[in-house]
Structure 1
Amino acid sequence: MYNEYFGLAETPFSIAPDPRYLYMSEAHREALAHLLYGVSSDGGFVLLTGEVGTGKTTVCRCLLEQLPEDVEVAYVINPKQTSAELLATICDDLGIAFPEGNSSIKVFVDRINAYLLDAHGRGRKTVLVIDEAQNLSPDVLEQLRLLTNLETSQRKLLQIILLGQPELLQLLARPDLRQLSQRITARYHLGPLSRKEVGTYVNHRLAVAGLRSQLFPPATLDRLHKLTGGVPRLINVLCDRALLGAYVKGEGEVNRRTLRQAAREVLGEMQSPPRLTLPVRWLAAGVILVAAVLGLATLYFRPELLSAALKPAQQGPAAPLPEPAADPPQAAAEGEPGALVIVAAGAGDASEKPLSWPAELPIEQSKTLAFESLFQAWGMEYQGADGNACDHAESLGMRCLHRRGSLGSLRQLDLPAVLRVVSAPGEEFFATLVSLRGDRATFALGPETRVVSVRDLESIWFGEFSLLWRVPGNYRRLVAPGGRGPEVAWLDEQLARIYNRAPDARRDPILEGPLLAELKAFQLREGLEPDGILGTNTLIRLNAALDPRIPKLLAPREE
């Protein structure tokens, strides 16, 4: 109804799980990393919990999209079943035949066991996902635990992922389920979005729906975060109703008044502050009056307090102001908030312009030019086109990393990156972020360099970025604690250099004991989650710690 009025191509805040609207916060990415780690392990249970609407199912869908083709998946969305009914559902999802009308648990388990052994023999892995797992009964959970007893001498044959509300944690804490709880190899509790993430989330969905301007001012987003607690599903419902309210009133944006009205309609009167009754108002007025009288009496009997209160705030020389972070020469000129300082290649002076693509360059070439600048930062020449930048990177021993994140993500990775931005006039283009210093971000746009405040960058960038990183020659897969292989041998050599010790004399070291402790200490030092997993972020930071030739985004590096 309101789409045409606001210039939207489609409804931006539908609660349907459209993958085009996927927004992954830092917490969602961490949850996904835990699921990926759990699936890559040798069986058992993986647990993801969170309040209603926080995005557990979204994270799981993202996981399923990233699973390799040799993984078979059974997905149970209605777990409120008996043990026999659940086993029948699993058989149906995996295409396992069983006698019609069968209710024997032994028959189901035998058929599932035969299927898992056959899949393992064909080099395939089987994963069972159970959504709304807080609805499982203790008896069914125990039956699931018994399913994970199906194993070979090397590994378990079935991996089970449980998605559920916080009540699931209470259920698994029961003494009679302690054996299952001990088999959980990875667990994560997904929390709500932060205030900053709420703004990014809302603007991301509006941008995907075709809008190139803000409909929710910062004050409205502050209130939206308080009303919804950062729960994505509530954000969608409330934003949808607020846009409808703004359309009915003929307003060009959603103000706080319209949002409050939408909250009353969607969430009920409980969101409105309670009105004080007349006796309570009189009581409050009396308390204020007594406090005022006591305050005046104190000043009367102790006049030195009044004298001190009236003294000028500034006594003596003013404290020196902190020195600003050193900016590139082109950022030295002062400007209004939001203005960009631009230095063309070869130019000697800087001029302020609004953020936009250089008029002399075809905007359709922005992606190619951005990757040219990215490869140049690594000291390499880019000879690919838009569609094969990653293929070209792999031919040079590099790898691409595509993510959605925040400036915190980029600071943590500390590498130049290509960002997709949408400027105020509605232009969409790609630019290479080559430096982050203090509150200034420096971009390469073709032959030009531009500096913009971080605050302005966050208003036009919705978290999508691509970067390059160098892959160790023997790295093939993520390695979890207890793992071994050439990746672990390489890790031992790198940590030996960092901690100035001799490498492990064994040819096939295991990621455990002192080596695992060193890895966790390194991760903690680098601002990473100390999970002991040798994954992409850890590899990037290890490379940067040992190779001074790797380009830095934070130069000099911010601590």
Structure 2
Amino acid sequence: MYASAFGLQQAPFSIAPDPRYLFMSERHREALAHLLYGLGASGGFVLLTGEIGTGKTTVCRCFLEQMPEHCQVAYVYNPKQSAIELLRTINDEFGVPHAPAAPGSAETIKDCIDPLNAFLLASHAAGRNTVLVIDEAQNLSIDVLEQLRLLTNLETTERKLLQIVLIGQPELRELLARPELEQLAQRVVARFHLDALSLPEVEAYVSHRLAVAGWSGALPFDRRVLARIHQLTGGVPRRINLLCDRALLGAYSAGVRSVDRRMLGRAALEVFGAMPQRAARPAGQRMLRAGATVVAVAGLACAAAFAVWTNRPHAVAAASPAAAAAAPAIEAVPTSAAGVPEPAATAAAPDAATAPPASDFRLAAVLPGLAGSEDTALRELAGAWDAGLPPAAVNCNTLAARDLRCFRASRAGLDLLHQLDRPAVLTLHFSVGSSRRQAYVLLRGLDARGVILELDGQPRSVTAAELARWWRGELLTLWRASAKDSTTLDARLAQALPDLPAAMPRAERISRFQLAHGLPPDGMAGPLTAMRLNRASGVQEPRLQGN
């Protein structure tokens, strides 16, 4: 109702799972890291718990989208079944035929387990891993959980044949702590409890959703109101959506573009039925973090893939023979004892760009031929900016004379690439034998699969999961500065936020702009803020395809 009145493309706080509004906090990334880490274990259980509305389903969908091609997965969303019913459901999800041993007789547990075991053995022989994901697992009964434990007894001499992921509310942890389930608890190879958002994350979450919906100008919530939103909702995303949606409706009814504390209080009474006094849990109550290696896995592994989540088939085909044959020649450089490359973070879904489809494209096939220097890649990048310098003279110092500045990041992600919206040089790490090498490739665009890279002079679409194997988050890009930047900053702020009073201190206006664009509100016009200001005020700079 209020969306069109505020110039929005749609309501920004709908509770529908629209992938364009993806917001992955640090804890969401850590949760995903644990799920991905569990895939590398030799079977057993992986456990993810969290309060209602904290984003467990978001993480689960991201996890499903990031399944390697050699994995096949069954997803059970309604586990309130008997043991035999759940076994039938599992077989049906994997496409395993099952029937009573004798015609006309009732189907038994053995009738379901025998064909499932044969299926798992055949999958293992074909080099495929099999994963069972059960959502709302707190609804599982004791006898069903025991039956699931017995399924993990299906194994070869090398490994267990079935990996089981349990996702549920905090009651699931209490359930697994019961003495009769001690054997199952001992088979949990990774576990994580998903906490609510912190106050800075609530601020970023709200500004992110408004920006995606098309909000322009100052945010409708000032810092005091955002702090109250955090207090009233406890940092739970679903509660934030409900409260902010009703508060904006109240602002629309009152004929204003901002929400004050009184208006927010009325919205809370309408949505929650009472004035909640919840506070976000202190950091000390959170589950212990995994090591830095595990956290790093979550970065790009979630990347743009969840942002383009679709209802993919449950069974994923194994990698093509051609790709498998090419893989041993080159390997990603491991960054930990686990040999896992260090990737980057998430992205909202951009529009598709024009590039040849490459569903089976593997960077391993071309990386050895791309090894070169960063200076060469920078010269290619500068070409997009028409810097007017001879190739031999292109470097960050000479570009500064053309009012161009270099910007580097060592832990970037696809979300930052989407936010910067400009070509960039990405550093890819790989090894050939015992030799570790680097390749510098030019990012040309973002598409529904991940990124568009310029490889051998041709644009190629590369999935986020494929890029994650080689990219640690290192990037180099350019932005246009002005010799009179100190005098034009106020003008650009006024253009980007026309509703703010001119008398407002510059630092406060910068903070408002940063909040509106999902940046840390430090009140300082650093490179990231300057780049976003350039984009918002119409400064001509190269843009990514499809963004």
Corresponding residue SS for 1:216: coil
In structure 2, runs of 5+ residues without a counterpart are: 279-397, 404-417, 429-436, 466-471, 480-491, 497-506, 521-547
Matched, 1:462 2:518: yes
Are the counterparts in 1 of residues 203 and 515 from structure 2 also a CA contact under 8 Å? no
Q: 1:44 to 1:390 in 2, by over 3 A?
A: farther
8 Å Cα contact 2:442/2:453 also seen in 1: no
Q: Aligned Cα RMSD in Å?
A: 3.9
Question: Would you say the 8 A contact 2:232–2:277 is kept in 1?
Answer: no
Q: Distance in 1 between matches of 2:440 and 2:170?
A: 51
2:12, 2:256 → 1: CA distance?
18
- SS of 2:518's equivalent in the other structure is strand
What CA deviation, in whole Å up to 9, does each residue of 1:486-542 have, x standing for no partner? xxxxxxxxxxxxxxxxxxxxxxxxxxxxxxxxxxxxxxxxxxxxxxxxxxxxxxxxx
Partner of 1:163, secondary structure, is strand
Contact 1:374/1:418 (CA < 8 Å) preserved in 2? no
Mapped partners of 2:36, 2:264: distance in 1: 38
Residue 444 of structure 2 is matched in structure 1 by 385
Match status 1:250 vs 2:255: yes
Alignment map for 1:542-553 (pairs within 5 Å): none
Structure 2 match to 1:72: 72
1:319 aligned partner = none
Structure-2 residue corresponding to 1:533: none
| Match of residue 224, structure 1, among 225, 229, 237 | 229
| Matched letter for residue 183 of structure 1 | R
> Partner residue of 1:37?
37
Q: Return the offset for 1:5.
A: 0.7
Is 1:208 equivalent to 2:267 in the alignment?
A: no
The one-character-per-residue Cα deviations of 1:401-435 (angstroms, maximum 9, x if unpaired) are: 89xxxxxxxxxx99556699xx86787xxxxxxxx
Q: What residue in structure 2 maps to residue 23 of structure 1?
A: 23
Q: 2:155 aligns with which of 135, 151, 166?
A: 151
User: Which amino acid in 2 is paired with 1:177?
Assistant: L
Residues 304-339 of structure 1 show CA distances to partners (whole Å, capped at 9, x for unaligned) of xxxxxxxxxxxxxxxxxxxxxxxxxxxxxxxxxxxx
Shift of 1:345: 3.1
Following superposition of structure 1 onto structure 2, how do residues 126-275 of structure 1 map, counting pairs within 5 Å?
126-213=130-217, 214-271=219-276
Deviation at 1:459, TM superposition (A): 2.4
Aligned residue in 1 for 2:409: none
Code of the aligned partner of 2:26: E
Distance change (3 Å), C-alpha of 1:221 and 1:367: closer
Does the 8 Å CA contact 2:46/2:188 hold for their aligned counterparts? yes
Quote how far apart the aligned CAs of 1:62 are.
0.4
Q: Give aligned-pair identity as a percent.
A: 53
- Deviation for aligned residue 1:215: 2.0
Deviation per CA, 1:187-230, whole angstroms, max 9, x where unpaired?
00100000000011111111111223322221111110000000
**Structure-to-structure mapping, 1:504-515, within 5 angstroms:** none
Output the amino acid matched with 1:86. Answer: L
1:98 CA drift (Å): 1.3
What is residue 530 of structure 1 aligned with on the other side?
none
Are residues 389 and 91 of structure 1, via their aligned partners in 2, closer, same or farther at CA, if it must alter by over 3 Å?
Answer: closer
TM-score for the superposition, normalised by structure 2: 0.56
Please tell me whether the aligned partners of residues 425 and 477 of structure 2 are also in contact (alpha carbons under 8 angstroms): no
1:371 aligned to which of 413, 421, 424: 424
Q: Note the 1:109-128 alignment, pairs <5 A.
A: 109-128=113-132
Deviation at 1:269, TM superposition (A): 2.4
The alpha-carbon deviation at position 176 of structure 1 amounts to 1.0
Q: Judge conservation of contact 1:128–1:159 (CA < 8 Å) in 2.
A: yes
Partners in 1 of 2:477 and 2:239 — Cα distance? 32
SS at 1:269's partner residue? coil
Matched letter for residue 371 of structure 1: A
Q: Hey, what's the Cα distance between the residues in 1 that align with 2:153 and 2:277? A: 53
Check the 8 A contact 1:384/1:392 in 2, yes or no. no
Cα displacement (A) at 1:457: 7.4
Greater Rg, structure 1 or structure 2? 1
Q: For the Cα contact (< 8 Å) 1:212–1:426, is it kept in 2? A: no
**Matching residue's letter, 1:240:** D
1:93 aligns with 2:146: no
Contact persistence 1:31–1:59 (CA under 8 A): yes
Post-superposition CA distance 1:64-86 (Å, at most 9, x none): 11112221111111111110011
Contact 2:427 2:438 (8 Å CA) reproduced? no
Q: For 2:269 and 2:402, how far apart are their aligned partners in 1?
A: 57
Task: Write the distance in 1 (CA, Å) between the matches of 2:32 and 2:187.
Answer: 19
Name the CA distance, whole Å, in 2 between partners of 1:65 and 1:454: 37
Counterpart code for 1:66: Q
Are the counterparts in 2 of residues 45 and 161 from structure 1 also a CA contact under 8 Å? yes
Distance 1:165 1:373, change over 3 A: closer
TM-superposed CA distance for 1:123, in Å, is 1.5
The runs of 5 or more residues in structure 1 that have no matched partner are: 274-342, 349-363, 403-412, 428-450, 465-559
Instruction: State the shift of 1:460 in Å.
Output: 4.9
The answer on whether the counterparts of 1:393 and 1:400 sit within 8 Å (CA) in structure 2 is no
**Residues 88 and 252 from structure 1, CA distance in 2 versus in 1: closer, same or farther, beyond 3 angstroms?**
same
Number of aligned residue pairs: 339
Shift of 1:382: 6.2
Alpha carbons 1:44, 1:148 under 8 Å: kept? yes
Between the aligned partners of 2:143 and 2:171, the Cα distance in structure 1 is 16
Equivalent residue letter for 2:157? S
Partner SS state of residue 52, structure 2:
coil
Structure 1 residues 10 and 102, CA gap change in structure 2 (3 angstroms): farther
- Seen in structure 2, the aligned counterparts of structure 1 residues 374 and 218 have a Cα distance that, compared at 3 Å, is farther
Q: How far apart are 1:455 and its partner, in Å?
A: 4.8
TM-score w.r.t. the length of structure 1 is 0.54
Structure-2 separation of matches of 1:346 and 1:419: 13
Partner AA of 1:182 in structure 2: Q
1:147–1:246 distance in 2 versus 1, CA, 3 Å: same
d(CA) in 2 for partners of 1:105, 1:374: 53
Measure, in 1, the Cα distance between the counterparts of 2:518 and 2:456: 25
Go from structure 1 to structure 2 and tell me whether the alpha carbon gap of 1:79 and 1:385 turns closer, same or farther (over 3 Å shift). closer
SS state of the match for residue 131, structure 2? Answer: strand
The letter for the 2-side match of 1:4 is S
Partners in 1 of 2:14 and 2:65 — Cα distance? 21
User: CA contact under 8 A between 2:208 and 2:516: conserved in structure 1?
Assistant: no
Q: Deviations over 1:324-366 (max 9, x none)?
A: xxxxxxxxxxxxxxxxxxx993389xxxxxxxxxxxxxxx9x8
Which deviates more from structure 2 when the two are superposed, residues 76-85 or residues 262-271? 262-271
Distance in 2, Cα, partners of 1:384 & 1:167: 45
Code of the aligned partner of 2:131: V
Q: Residues 482-493 of structure 1: matches in 2 within 5 Å?
A: none
User: Matched residue of 1:153: which SS?
Assistant: coil
